[in-house]
């Protein structure tokens, strides 16, 4: 599995429409459009639409040969988790997509909505429409946001997610690790214990820790010992400091502080949401899993979430840190409030196709 910081052929997004995730306003659609338009300046972008979202997409997206609309039905817009995970044959250069089983982050046990059939079928449908070979992982449940690769044989994941009862309860940790290595061409899995506090995906790794180059990661952090994130990030730091990657290297960890002010659901947000029967709901004051680690590489740039308002100083700090760590890339700040209100962020709504 190539690293996300390697060269990419294209990105995949699904234009937002579900009112239980994004509300009835167009703020999320505008945020998606900004991201798609920005990525399209650096690589191709496949955008999945349905009958209801196509009009908004046509109105908000710039006219470009690099933006390719595909009519594929979905239940929601989390491309990271439902789109194929792409792997590359190092000898031939062939790129193929893996279709994992998707069950809305927990299925009958603790899934977030009741009907996920269209999302589960998305990876195979995308490969068919876009012309990629597709490998089925059978009944193995996995979301793309639960894994990171360094491109050199190391996979990063969290125990909180992959060992949760709603994923693959009949499999042992060793069996899950073997399955990851077999499909992803990996040699080693680094298990972090936890993710971001209140992350409803059972704490995906892509919100708490990410490779920026082989042997080097950024880790979501807080120095506030009273914040529930402190214990979670500290446990991850301990795991990283006591492991090596597939090449035998110690991991260099760069701390990337979370927003100083928790991002929460507001009264106006609640008035905008429209939940379906069987769908997980929200409440005023609920803390959302805001993290600057949820960024996206798009060849020579990185799209970095920004939360604004009281968190403007936190936004600037994150920008400065990322620019110091990746001076060879442009770090592009993106207003991500419209996305975090859905529960995820920039990395969660994107999936890359390697070159």
188-227: b (≥16 Cβ within 10 Å) or e: bbbbbbbbbbbbbbbbbbbbbbbbbebbbbbbbbbeeeee
H/E run at residue 161 = helix 159-162
Does residue 348 have an active-site annotation?
yes
DSSP letters of 290-343? Answer: --TT--EEETTEEEEEE--GGGHHHHHHHHHHHHHH-TTSEEEEEE-HHHHTTT
Annotated catalytic residue: which of 127, 209, 236, 348? Answer: 348
Nearest to 295 by CA among 342, 332, 351, 347: 347
- 218-221's contacts with Cβ under 8 Å and 24+ in sequence apart are 218/253, 218/254, 218/255, 218/256, 218/293, 218/321, 218/322, 218/325, 219/253, 219/254, 219/255, 219/256, 219/293, 220/196, 220/256, 220/257, 220/258, 220/291, 220/292, 220/293, 221/255, 221/256, 221/257, 221/258
Known catalytic residues? 348
């Amino acid at each position: 599995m190539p690293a996300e910081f390697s060269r990419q052929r294209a990105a995949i997004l699904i234009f937002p429409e579900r009112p239980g995730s994004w509300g009835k306003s167009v703020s999320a659609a505008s945020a998606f459009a900004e991201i798609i338009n920005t990525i399209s300046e650096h690589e191709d972008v496949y955008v999945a639409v349905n009958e209801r979202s196509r009009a908004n997409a046509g109105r908000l997206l710039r006219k470009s040969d690099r933006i390719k609309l595909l009519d594929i039905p979905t239940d929601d817009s989390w491309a990271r988790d439902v789109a194929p995970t792409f792997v590359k044959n190092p000898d031939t250069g062939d790129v193929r997509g893996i279709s994992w089983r998707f069950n809305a982050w927990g299925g009958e046990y603790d899934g977030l909505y009741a009907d996920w059939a269209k999302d589960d079928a998305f990876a195979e449908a995308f490969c068919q429409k876009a012309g990629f070979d597709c490998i089925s992982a059978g009944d193995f449940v996995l979301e793309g946001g639960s894994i990171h690769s360094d491109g050199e044989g190391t996979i990063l994941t969290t125990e909180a997610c992959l060992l949760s009862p709603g994923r693959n309860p009949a499999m042992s940790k060793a069996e899950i690790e073997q399955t990851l290595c077999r499909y992803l061409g990996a040699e080693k899995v680094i298990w972090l214990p936890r993710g971001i506090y209140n992350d409803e995906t059972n704490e995906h790794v892509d919100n708490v820790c990410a490779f920026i180059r082989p042997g080097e990661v950024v880790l979501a952090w807080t120095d506030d010992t009273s914040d529930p994130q402190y214990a979670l990030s500290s446990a991850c730091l301990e795991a990283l400091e006591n492991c090596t990657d597939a090449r035998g290297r110690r991991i260099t960890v760069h701390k990337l502080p979370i927003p100083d002010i928790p991002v929460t659901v507001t009264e106006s947000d609640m008035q905008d949401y429209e939940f379906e029967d069987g769908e997980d709901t929200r409440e005023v004051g609920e803390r959302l899993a805001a993290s600057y680690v949820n960024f996206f590489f798009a060849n020579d740039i990185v799209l970095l979430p920004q939360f604004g308002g009281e968190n403007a100083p936190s936004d600037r700090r994150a920008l400065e840190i990322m620019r110091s760590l990746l001076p060879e890339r442009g770090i592009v700040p993106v207003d991500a409030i419209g996305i975090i209100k859905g529960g995820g962020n920039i990395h969660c709504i994107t999936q890359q196709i390697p070159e």
